[in-house]
Structure formats: C-alpha cells, structure tokens
Structure 1
Amino acid sequence: MSSYSLAQLLHLLAAIAFAGTVFFEVVMLGGARRHAPHEAMHAVEGAIGRRAVAVMPWVLLVLYAAGLVLAWHHRGALAQPLASGFALLLTIKIALALSVLGHFATAMRWRRSGRLRGRASRRLHLSVFVHVLAIVALAKAMFLAGW
C-alpha cells in the first residue's frame, strides 16, 4: 500500500469517526433532548462531552495529518485553484476543514472557561455539522467535476 493510499484510508476512517460523532450529537441527541428529562440529558451530554474531549483530539490529529499528506500530493492543483473543478472544490473543502478546526479550538476554549453550554454549544455543533455535510459533498464532487 502506498503512503498516499494509506493517507486516504486514514483520512476516510477519521472523517467517518468525526462526522459520525457530529451527526450523533446534533441529530440524535438533539432529537432526544425533547423527550428526556433535563437532568438525564445533562448527565448524558456531560458524559459524552468528557469522552469526546478524550477521543476527538486523536481523531482530528489523524484526520488533519492525513489531510496534509493528501493536500501535499495535490499541491500542483492547489497552486492553481481556478484551473480545474477538482482544484477549486479541493480548495473550498480545505477552507471549510480549517473552519472546522477553528470551531474545535473555540469549543475547547469555551469548555475550559465554562462557556460551552446550552444555546452556544448547540449553535457551534450545528455549524460544524453543516460544515461537515458540505465537506462530504465536496469530497464526492471533487472526483466528479469535469470542468
């Protein structure tokens, strides 16, 4: 297996783990919030949050490290982002991925300062969810773009 293929595999697996976690938090927990007692949801969200803080940095490390390897492989396309559909979509995908990294850093700062609660937390998670959906769509479209 080439280093590029390994990077693709690791990037895909980490992306699945990250996107799945974000999907679970936004869609599943968001829907469950209306049907469960506040105290129970608070305990569940706290436990999931603690686990996410332990696991997600490692997932993101693999995701972004593998992404850097893949970006380096496509550095020629990235040097001319308007030259092809692939290059343009890859550039947008990277910009969104950097925005997600910024969201994650913000979440960690807010968590440490005790500001990651309620509405702010839900909005941050929803924003990351929308970013992740766009990144997944772009990832697929990059290999379909013939312009």
Structure 2
Amino acid sequence: MLYPLFLTLHLFAALIFIGTVFFEVLFLENIRKRLPAKVMLLVEEGVAHRARQVMPWVLLVLFGAGVGMVGLRYLPVLAAPLASSFGTLLMLKILAAISVLGHFATAMLLFKTGRMKARYVHFIHTSVFCHMVLIVLLAKGMFYLTW
C-alpha cells in the first residue's frame, strides 16, 4: 500500500519541479525580450523568491518518495543494474536525479552567499532543463525499451 502513495507523491512533486523548470526556461527567457529590464528583474526576483521557498519541500518529497519506491520495489534490480535494460535505465535516471540535486544545492549555496550571477542562473536552468528531459525519457523508457 505504501508504493502507490510514494509513486503518487513522486509524480506530483515531479510535475511541480519539472513545470517550474520548463516555465523558467521556455517562458521567462522569451518574456525577458518583451519587458523592460527593471520589470523583468522584479518578475525574476519574485519567481526566484517563491521557488526558493517551495522547491526545497518539493525536492524533499520528490527524492523521499523516490528513495521509498527504490526501497520497496527496486533494490533487487539496482543490485545488478546492468543485468537488465530496466535496471540500467533506472540507474541512469537516479544518477541524473542526483546531478539535478547537486545543481539545486549549488544554486542555493550561490544565492545564500550572494555569488549567484546571471550567467550561473542561465547555465543551471539550462542544464537542469536538459536533465529533466533526460529523466522523463528514461522514466518512460524503463517500461518500454528492452535490449
């Protein structure tokens, strides 16, 4: 009974996280060209402030539920991840997710220490966006790709 709960929590947290990243990369970048710099700065500050409030909790649920799912169902598969396509793709998904967590921790540290620069924001958002696309493809591929 716990697995469906973890799966649901994981999916909702993923929706929030991925939706936020997609919004920031696909929408905010385009909006920047249409708004005065001062207005855009206020918009970005507002979005960033809210994201820093919400995202730690979203990531806690996302990773907590993911760890719960692994513990309940996927530990045997991860004991020999290269033995199956499912295990290999799951391992790659977990590695990509850990990389996203590293990006997030780096961003939070840079913000907290006042060293975050616009180019870092752009790089981190773009990298996390690419990671998210990869994670979604791996998550679907786990159930449909075999070799």
User: Structure 2 length as normaliser, TM-score?
Assistant: 0.97
Aligned partner of residue 115 in structure 1, secondary structure: coil
Alignment correspondent of 2:93: 93
Cα offset, 1:98, TM superposition = 0.2
Cα offset, 1:46, TM superposition = 0.4
CA RMSD of aligned residues (A): 0.7
Cα offset, 1:76, TM superposition = 0.5
In the aligned structure 2, how far is the partner of 1:94 from the partner of 1:21? 20
CA deviation vs aligned residue, 1:74-126 (integer Å, no higher than 9, x gap) = 00000101111000000000000000000000000000112223111111110
Cα offset, 1:35, TM superposition = 1.2
In the aligned structure 1, how far is the partner of 2:30 from the partner of 2:114? 24
Alignment correspondent of 1:125: 125
Aligned partner of residue 61 in structure 2, secondary structure: helix
In the aligned structure 2, how far is the partner of 1:36 from the partner of 1:115? 25
In the aligned structure 2, how far is the partner of 1:53 from the partner of 1:59? 10
Gaps of 5+ in 1: none
> Among the aligned pairs, what percent are the same residue?
49
Matched AA of 1:29: L
2:80 equivalent to 1:103: no
Cα offset, 1:22, TM superposition = 0.3
Aligned partner of residue 74 in structure 1, secondary structure: helix
Aligned partner of residue 12 in structure 1, secondary structure: helix
2:3 equivalent to 1:7: no
Alignment correspondent of 1:59: 58
In the aligned structure 1, how far is the partner of 2:63 from the partner of 2:142? 18
Aligned partner of residue 144 in structure 2, secondary structure: coil
More helix by share: 2
